[in-house]
Structure 1
Amino acid sequence: MYAVKSSFPLFHTTLPNSTTPIHRLRQQSSLLTTSVIRLSAQMRVDILSESLPFIQRFRGKTVVVKYGGAAMKSPELQASVVNDLVLLACVGLRPILVHGGGTEINTWLIRLGIEPQFLNGLRVTDAATMEVVEMVLVGKVNKTLVSLINRAGATAVGLSGKDARLLTARPNSKDLGFVGEISRVDSAILRPLLEAGHIPVIASVASDKTGQGYNVNADTAAGEIAAAVRAEKLILLTDVVGILGDRDDPGSLVKEVTIKGIKKMVRDGKIAGGMIPKVNCCVRSIAQGIHTASIIDGRVPHSLLLEILTDEGVGTMITG
């Protein structure tokens, strides 16, 4: 027999050699298994205890989460996001989920022989594209997310910006077609849902005063909804690590930045393309009273919990 000491007291044991009787092997195997279970349980309890201050801070507060990008492609990451959302609801937060579905929209457009086009990070939307957008976002993605949340143990309610005139839009520009800017948010439909403990799941389409449908950027929709319900925090789950100080260096993540700093980065050309609508909606929501807005990497498992329930967070947090 020979002894091996571990840095974990539970694992301080004597390992067997080839002459150890079989019953001793079984006893030691059982001891090791029990030790692992005890260690795992202790770690879970410690993590939960460390989360308490964050749970107390956000309990009863509304958090708006925009969901899209790579986190929507993978079934594993999709399940992670849904479970995190349900956990947050269970500990007393009031989450609202606003979603896009760009990748799936592109897939359907290509199947129909329509080439996806973008201008300054926004989808160019003609009448045919608008039909596909509504079919995918309202008819497919929204229903899928509602079903997943319900199966995970919470109660989700599927909506689009058209329902109860939640979002009223106006045209963005002639070059973009049926792409809308949000002119008004009527959050009356959301408040009773939140008070009842339900999770609103909102597809980012809207209509104007005549009923014409518009494709609305999901980041923008999330930001305006967050401002309307006076949310504590806006979180954009996306497929980038956050805002980079150098766009060519993934290691140059900016952990925290003010509105003033964001505007300087845009002027200096450090933020461009699809990141512009994201930072613009964060800046606008903070200007309307949101405490913080974060752009986080939805490809990281449990990134939502890391952002809300830890000091370190994950991604970039924007403050006033």
Structure 2
Amino acid sequence: MEVNQEKARVLIEALPYIRTFSGKTFVIKYGGSTRAGGVSDSSFADDLVLLSHIGIRPVVVHGGGPEISGWLSKLGISSVFSDGRRITDDETMEVVEMVLSGKVNRDLVTLVQKRGGRAVGIAGRDAGLLIGERISEGELGAVGRVISVNTEILDLLDRHRYTTIVAPVGVDRDGQPLNINADEVASELAGALKAEKLIMMTDTPGVLDSGKNLLTSLSPEQVKKLMIDKTIHGGMVPKMQGCLKAIEAGVGKVHVIDGRVPHALLLEIFTPEGVGTEITRE
């Protein structure tokens, strides 16, 4: 009886959040570094199905860096990076698209559907969703930045109650494929959709202070200060820049959470204390 009462208490505590967020859009970035042996994938898929069933509209952008590196190694192609970005020549771009749009995307779609959800996988190049341009001609190859977003395909799938899972592969204006950072894609989509939340699932507990303590809530100005004094550094800098851009574009709130924690998505959304860092409007 006590166990059942605890379950009932948890459901009742979640009810105000369900009422508030039903009908709202959440853009969720699911990083490749969070996926540990498939366990995280299963937990994440369960969370997505639950969100969809209670009326929340999840749009997922996934990464796949470790899988790309693994396949490049199998094919005898070296992985070369510059300032954290994968140098993407034509041969590497073929593998990037094969892994992201093919294997990783399809695997996540299949998991969601096995758990009773309805999911469709697309790439940023589909239906003109993500148009981009190369970051630097000749240096990084087919590495791009987003210059325009067309949300028509996302709106269409949402009307039919599909969870959309997006591979971060866009195209330039000439139709050539581009390898675009998944954090940037998630931020751009969240801004274009005026999402209620942008949730960045990472392999860290959230944003940490200089003593490695979790900062549970930050304003945009506090984030900027932490970047200036180098407390936020390395790969977290572009992630935070994307988060700030999303806030400026009208996203209600941004969350940075540890995607390795089972059901981290639900714990962050439906509990008062959450499990990561939230970045709120001023």
Q: Contact between 1:156 and 1:201, CA under 8 Å: does it hold in 2?
A: yes
Task: Verify: 1:104 aligned to 2:67, yes or no.
Answer: yes
Alignment partners' CA distance in 2, 1:176 and 1:260 = 32
Alignment partners' CA distance in 2, 1:166 and 1:213 = 13
Residue of 59, 79, 94 corresponding to 1:116: 79
Cα deviations by residue, 1:210-265 (Å, 9 ceiling, x for unpaired) = 1110001001101101111111000011111111112xx44x11111111111111
Q: Tell me the residue number matched to 1:6.
A: none
Q: Contact between 1:109 and 1:116, CA under 8 Å: does it hold in 2?
A: yes
> Shift of residue 130 of structure 1?
0.8
Alignment partners' CA distance in 2, 1:238 and 1:85 = 16
Task: Verify: 1:253 aligned to 2:217, yes or no.
Answer: no
SS at match of 1:136: helix
Task: Verify: 1:231 aligned to 2:195, yes or no.
Answer: yes
- CA separation of 1:117 and 1:243: change in aligned 2, threshold 3 A: farther
% identical equivalent positions: 46
Q: Tell me the residue number matched to 2:99.
A: 136
Task: Verify: 1:275 aligned to 2:224, yes or no.
Answer: no
Q: Relative to structure 2, which stretch is displaced further, 54-63 or 40-49?
A: 40-49
Residues 14-163 of structure 1: matches in 2 within 5 Å? 38-163=1-126
> Shift of residue 82 of structure 1?
0.6
Cα deviations by residue, 1:148-176 (Å, 9 ceiling, x for unpaired) = 11111111011000000000011112332
Q: Tell me the residue number matched to 2:151.
A: 187
Amino acid aligned to 1:66: K
Larger Rg over CA atoms: 1
Alignment partners' CA distance in 2, 1:124 and 1:287 = 30
SS at match of 1:176: coil
Residue of 240, 245, 254 corresponding to 1:293: 254
Q: Which has the higher contact order (CA 8 A, sep 6+)?
A: 2
Q: Contact between 1:125 and 1:179, CA under 8 Å: does it hold in 2?
A: yes
Which of structure 1's runs of 4+ aligned residues deviate more than 6 A? none
> Shift of residue 45 of structure 1?
1.0
> Shift of residue 54 of structure 1?
0.5
Alignment partners' CA distance in 2, 1:317 and 1:213 = 33
Residue of 217, 220, 223 corresponding to 2:181: 217
Amino acid aligned to 1:296: I
Give structure 2 stretches of 5+ with no counterpart: none
Q: Tell me the residue number matched to 1:203.
A: 167
Residue of 200, 212, 224 corresponding to 1:263: 224
Amino acid aligned to 1:278: K
Q: Contact between 1:121 and 1:276, CA under 8 Å: does it hold in 2?
A: no
Give structure 1 stretches of 5+ with no counterpart: 1-37
Amino acid aligned to 1:62: T
Q: Contact between 2:64 and 2:104, CA under 8 Å: does it hold in 1?
A: yes
Alignment partners' CA distance in 2, 1:116 and 1:243 = 28
Q: Contact between 1:66 and 1:237, CA under 8 Å: does it hold in 2?
A: yes
Alignment partners' CA distance in 1, 2:75 and 2:237 = 29
Task: Verify: 1:240 aligned to 2:201, yes or no.
Answer: no
Alignment partners' CA distance in 2, 1:141 and 1:191 = 23
What TM-score, normalized to structure 1? 0.85
SS at match of 2:46: helix
Residue of 246, 265, 269 corresponding to 1:304: 265
What TM-score, normalized to structure 2? 0.96
SS at match of 2:175: coil
Alignment partners' CA distance in 1, 2:206 and 2:80 = 24
